[in-house]
Amino acid sequence: MSAIWHQQTFQLRPRSRGFHLITDEISSQLEKLSVIRVGLAHVHILHTSASLTINENADPTVREDFEMHFTRAVPEDTSMYRHTLEGPDDMTSHIKASLLGSSLTIPVSNGRFALGTWQGIYLCEHRNRGGSRSVIVTLNGTR
């Protein structure tokens, strides 16, 4: 068995504020994912106002509830923050991104992400209009 290391950077399509299922968008862009028999994928978003998490992949109301919860937990009240140069969603986006995190490590098995039946990768877009987001994925494993 030969070891493989592969790193790839790509853009996710722009999305509005919310929690978006992106598992297929990521896996379809990874050139070497299909050749890894056993390994790991490290997925990292290169932004400070968006984040990544893994959760429910079937019922879209889960993603809607996530957005509602984070909007209530971190309200867009510019009187509470000094860092508001880019609008009322500026500092709150940074806080939400720090709470959820910018990286995921996912097992790879037989050329696919080894996620549970009901698990998917979310892009957590915390800006009202965040634009396209850059992601870097590092794959390591055996063929």
For 65-107, how does the pLDDT look when each residue is reduced to its tens digit (9 = 90+)?
999 999 999 999 889 999 988 889 999 999 999 999 999 999 9
Contacting residues for 86 by C-beta, under 8 A, at least 6 apart: none
Closest-CA residue to 93 (of 136, 55, 128): 128
- The Cα 85–Cα 61 span in angstroms is 32
Summarised one tens digit per residue, pLDDT across range 32-45 is 999 999 999 999 99
pTM: 0.95
Please give the pLDDT value at position 32. Answer: 96
Contacting residues for 59 by C-beta, under 8 A, at least 6 apart: none
Domains and CATH numbers, the chain: 3-142 (2.60.120.460)
Query: Which pair of structure tokens corresponds to residue 9?
Result: 């950077």
